[in-house]
Structure 1
Amino acid sequence: MPIETVPEILSQYYLIAFDAAGNERDEPEGKMSKKVLDTLSSKPITDVFLFSHGWLGDIVAARNQYNKWVKAMSKNLADIEQIQKARSEFRPLLIGLHWPSLPWGNEELGNSSESFAIQKVSPVEQLVKEYAKRIANTQTPKQALRTIFLSAMENVAPDTLPPEVCEAYEVLNREARLNAEGEGAAPGRDHESFDPESIFQEVENDPTSYGNLDWGSILAPLRTLSFWKMKDRARQFGESGGFQLLTKLQQATSNDVRFHLMGHSFGCIVVSATLAGLNGCSTLVRPVNSVALVQGALSLWSYCSDIPVAPGRAGYFHSIVADRKVAGCIITTQSENDTAISKIYPLGAGLRQQVAFPIKADGSFEFPKYGGLGTFGARGSGLEIVDMKMLPVNSSYQFEAGKIYNLDSSEFISDKTGGGLGGAHSDIAKPEVAHAIWQAAIGS
């Protein structure tokens, strides 16, 4: 379908799909980006809204999430009226990006909501095939995965990891090529050294799962590797496909056309990498006008000039601030009800002893070495930070250009039902969240 139409409200957006390498996929009628560029050249578009989903999003999930986002944005009539008064010519164009962050999901571009048919192979071989797509798709990692899954089927709850499983995990880690480079490194490498036995014991003591499989802690190291790989993929996609698309869109439009970027979860890595470009060093055609990072699954230190726990090292995406790639404001959301970011994210970055933050004598606390933006907001030196509560829809923000606003959204991003282990992580299609994004766009 060339343009996605949201049921009930009949609002439309373009869905541009990319493969795992960051290459745009072909529709039956050609590339969707070409249709977007044709629209920009033939219609008086004033504002382009570009948004990205996060982890565990296939084509169907992306459609569902974007439909909810667009519906929430479209129902905030007071905000729309305000932006139309401020800019009488206001005419937006909406673009949703899809990057394959759920390798065994439905990646068909048609409207079918059915998953891939399970092939007639053994359960172990099916799992080997699917996890190899995620981590490393060659014979050596496939054999390592086979060892892990067969062992898990024989004994799902061993006291320690069997030696052959530990060795298989070390093989997977080498094949994934996700070197541990610590805080401030590129997403996917911003973690401690891989220690499968320690991860196994940590999850045994405090069970937490962030994958589709729940075979006990024997698979916890595998879920950790998958977590790192998806962060790495989000960054690579943003730096390649995302940056190239934004460049084409800006080149095809005048300086009067405003750009607003929004990401959720790992989509905040996509958005940040799209702005920063390759290795954080690329140059935009011109600054974008506003950025919204909703329940971001990226480091709280990502944007700062100097990381307190790694002195002398800037956050990986600091160039966004240093080079003033956002003309307006950046808003971030935090919710204490989001267990995906408060518990699962730090467990994926390092073990508990690296993420715990001690309480000081005066009752305050230190921010952790590894923590998510969706829990702590943007932190570190070199940033103009404003901490505040997310406001109801009948209140106005006074967002100022150049500042980062950390919005405590616990009152509104709160519904844990249906969120599973992630809690309220995906409870973001709320009028108040949409209101904050509209206000950032208006203020730009």
Structure 2
Amino acid sequence: MERMPSGEPRWELNFDERGGMSTPDRDRFLDEVAAENPATLFFFSHGWGTAHDAAKSLYDAMFPMLRDAAVAAGLPKPGFAGIFWPSLWFPPTPAVAPAMAGVAKPQSRTAEVSGADIAASLAPGFSDPDQQKALAELGELLDAPGDPAVSTETEAERERVVGRIQELISSIAAPAGDAEPEDSGELSLLLNENPKDAFQRTAKVFGSEGAGAGAQGIGDWFGRAVNGAKDAVRVLSYNVMKTRAGDIGRTGLGPLLADLHTRAPAVRAQLLGHSFGARLVSFALAGVGAPDRSPVTSLLLIQGAFSHLSFAPAQGNPFGRPGALNGFGDRVHGPLLATFSPFDWAVGVWYPRASFLTGAGPEAEADGRWDAMGKDGYQHVDPAADIRIPLGAFDFRPGTYYRVDAGDVINNVKDSSFGGAHSDIRKPEVAALAAAAARPV
């Protein structure tokens, strides 16, 4: 345990990719919380990005803001727990989104990133030696068009390279049996049996079909397919992170919260998650057990990178069945909030395109079934309400799903041409929203 400069307790909770908590010792953490007995304990999960230092930087920025907002909201004795988990990092990409330069179609420009850089960025997120080896080979093959060491002169050799890329992607993808329908649209690409066509279609969907000329020129099918394969690896990173975040939340954080409630029943837990971390804290609700075992009194999803239908019932759901978290909202004994922003291109532009590659047809794109929380908040839930930040005086109702328009706050698109404002969350207004939601109701 550490302490904030203002004296409040602060913990770093490190989870492995299977949901095991490596540090601190689980019992030690529970004992320390019971001894400190904070009235309000904020649990915050980062999104994509493996580096411990990057996640710590987020918490170093947000925890003081949360502390000040909690004090201003009259919340006594706050405490803070930062969740660290092995998410993945994809190299920065000089993308062009529709909101930029008036382009009609977004261009991922992933083709301009080398396969070696892609593999190196993803590798720290995997502990399995076989997956590490597969990523290294994948990086080499993604650079095949410009690598004289890789033979691609004949049609058969090109098809072999593309087929092997698909085999490697499939070997790393999350198992299909573990996927919820609303969050599994990308699996048809990752597990497809016709990579020659699928990767070219991916390049078209992501706008990278004419980028990054290889040795054979950008007009041939092989150049387009390799460009699309790089985008497919980005889709792979989404798939692995989504699945992993849910597993860690369900099997790691959820049971920990239940034990916390037993050990320190007076502690009120507030769950915050950004991007794929929003899925982690949400799926903790599925692992906490019955409602009376849950200490959770608010849930705040900040630009969530998972399905906006996750809490939806079957009625009105385009999938015709309940979302994976339908029925678990009552584990939150207060409000459930989800921010969205039109300036978040990661979840507003690229995320649905990754899922839309299922090839379900234009009606699937029109009904929004592949959209994310960070695009428009909870959908097809009841009771629901719409609010906007900056937030004035407001009393939240327990059990209500709040769609929070954050476009006036989460709107800086200058720092990432790919994600836009996706990570523009280090804001006092976001902290004030969390503190307002944490007030006893």
**TM tier, smaller:** 0.7 to 0.9
Secondary structure at 1:317 match in 2: coil
Cα distance change of structure 1 residues 367 and 204 upon mapping to structure 2, 3 Å threshold: closer
Q: Contact between 2:186 and 2:235, CA under 8 Å: does it hold in 1?
A: no
Q: 1:80 aligns with which of 53, 66, 71?
A: 71
Q: Contact between 1:11 and 1:70, CA under 8 Å: does it hold in 2?
A: no
The percentage of aligned residue pairs carrying the same residue is 25
The amino acid across from 1:166 in the alignment is V
Q: Contact between 1:181 and 1:190, CA under 8 Å: does it hold in 2?
A: no
The amino acid across from 2:251 in the alignment is S
Shift of 1:125: 7.8
Aligned twin of 2:62? 69
Q: Do structure 1's residue 246 and structure 2's residue 257 form an aligned pair?
A: yes
Q: Do structure 1's residue 334 and structure 2's residue 344 form an aligned pair?
A: no
Aligned twin of 2:130? 138
Secondary structure at 1:138 match in 2: helix
Q: TM-score, normalised by structure 1?
A: 0.77
Aligned twin of 2:2? 3
Q: Contact between 2:73 and 2:436, CA under 8 Å: does it hold in 1?
A: no
Aligned twin of 1:108? none
Q: CA–CA distance in 1 between the matches of 2:238 and 2:401?
A: 27
Aligned twin of 1:232? 243
Shift of 1:47: 1.6
Shift of 1:246: 1.5
Aligned twin of 1:371? 371
Q: CA–CA distance in 1 between the matches of 2:175 and 2:15?
A: 25
Q: 2:425 aligns with which of 423, 428, 432?
A: 428
| Equivalences for residues 291-306 of structure 1 within 5 A | 291-306=299-314
1:358-407, Cα deviation, whole Å (9 max, x unpaired): 99xxxxxx541201100021112x52111222234xx1122101100001
| Equivalences for residues 306-325 of structure 1 within 5 A | 306=314, 308=316, 310-321=318-329, 324-325=330-331
Q: TM-score, normalised by structure 2?
A: 0.77
Shift of 1:434: 1.3
Q: Contact between 2:3 and 2:9, CA under 8 Å: does it hold in 1?
A: yes
Cα distance change of structure 1 residues 53 and 154 upon mapping to structure 2, 3 Å threshold: same
Q: Do structure 1's residue 260 and structure 2's residue 270 form an aligned pair?
A: yes
Q: CA–CA distance in 2 between the matches of 1:208 and 1:319?
A: 40
Q: CA–CA distance in 1 between the matches of 2:351 and 2:290?
A: 28
Which ranges in structure 2 are unaligned for 5 or more consecutive residues? 92-113, 210-225
Q: 1:405 aligns with which of 402, 405, 408?
A: 402
Cα distance change of structure 1 residues 311 and 252 upon mapping to structure 2, 3 Å threshold: same
Q: CA–CA distance in 2 between the matches of 1:125 and 1:208?
A: 18
Shift of 1:41: 2.6
Q: Do structure 1's residue 193 and structure 2's residue 188 form an aligned pair?
A: yes
Q: CA–CA distance in 2 between the matches of 1:335 and 1:42?
A: 40
| Equivalences for residues 262-277 of structure 1 within 5 A | 262-277=272-287
Deviates further, 40-49 or 405-414: 40-49
| Equivalences for residues 4-83 of structure 1 within 5 A | 5=4, 13-26=10-23, 31-76=24-69, 80-83=71-74
1:333-370, Cα deviation, whole Å (9 max, x unpaired): 000010111012112222296596799xxxxxx54120
Q: 1:437 aligns with which of 407, 430, 434?
A: 434
Shift of 1:286: 2.6
Q: CA–CA distance in 2 between the matches of 1:39 and 1:388?
A: 37
Q: CA–CA distance in 2 between the matches of 1:104 and 1:433?
A: 26
Q: CA–CA distance in 2 between the matches of 1:57 and 1:333?
A: 23
Q: Contact between 2:205 and 2:353, CA under 8 Å: does it hold in 1?
A: no
Secondary structure at 1:168 match in 2: helix
1:200-235, Cα deviation, whole Å (9 max, x unpaired): 4343464379xxxxx944411222112211111111
Q: Contact between 2:176 and 2:187, CA under 8 Å: does it hold in 1?
A: yes
Cα distance change of structure 1 residues 199 and 378 upon mapping to structure 2, 3 Å threshold: farther
Cα distance change of structure 1 residues 5 and 40 upon mapping to structure 2, 3 Å threshold: closer
| Equivalences for residues 412-423 of structure 1 within 5 A | 412-423=409-420
Secondary structure at 2:333 match in 1: coil
Q: Contact between 1:276 and 1:319, CA under 8 Å: does it hold in 2?
A: no
1:9-28, Cα deviation, whole Å (9 max, x unpaired): 676521111222322224xx
Secondary structure at 1:229 match in 2: helix
Q: Contact between 1:268 and 1:296, CA under 8 Å: does it hold in 2?
A: yes
Size of the alignment, in residue pairs? Answer: 392
Cα distance change of structure 1 residues 266 and 131 upon mapping to structure 2, 3 Å threshold: closer
Aligned twin of 1:113? none
1:21-79, Cα deviation, whole Å (9 max, x unpaired): 322224xxxx2544432322323421221110111142101100111111322343xx5
Secondary structure at 1:289 match in 2: strand
Cα distance change of structure 1 residues 300 and 34 upon mapping to structure 2, 3 Å threshold: same
Q: CA–CA distance in 1 between the matches of 2:172 and 2:41?
A: 36
Cα distance change of structure 1 residues 283 and 384 upon mapping to structure 2, 3 Å threshold: closer
Q: CA–CA distance in 1 between the matches of 2:258 and 2:179?
A: 29
The amino acid across from 2:273 in the alignment is G
| Equivalences for residues 149-188 of structure 1 within 5 A | 149-154=142-147, 162-176=158-172, 178-180=174-176, 184-185=180-181, 187=183
1:305-329, Cα deviation, whole Å (9 max, x unpaired): 11645453110111312xx111111
Shift of 1:198: 3.0
Q: Contact between 2:50 and 2:125, CA under 8 Å: does it hold in 1?
A: no
Which ranges in structure 1 are unaligned for 5 or more consecutive residues? 85-89, 106-122, 210-214, 360-365
Shift of 1:442: 0.9
Aligned twin of 2:96? none
Cα distance change of structure 1 residues 127 and 404 upon mapping to structure 2, 3 Å threshold: closer
Q: CA–CA distance in 2 between the matches of 1:437 and 1:355?
A: 39
Cα distance change of structure 1 residues 170 and 44 upon mapping to structure 2, 3 Å threshold: closer
Cα distance change of structure 1 residues 59 and 355 upon mapping to structure 2, 3 Å threshold: farther
Q: Do structure 1's residue 346 and structure 2's residue 368 form an aligned pair?
A: no
**Greater helix share, structure number:** 2
Shift of 1:147: 5.7
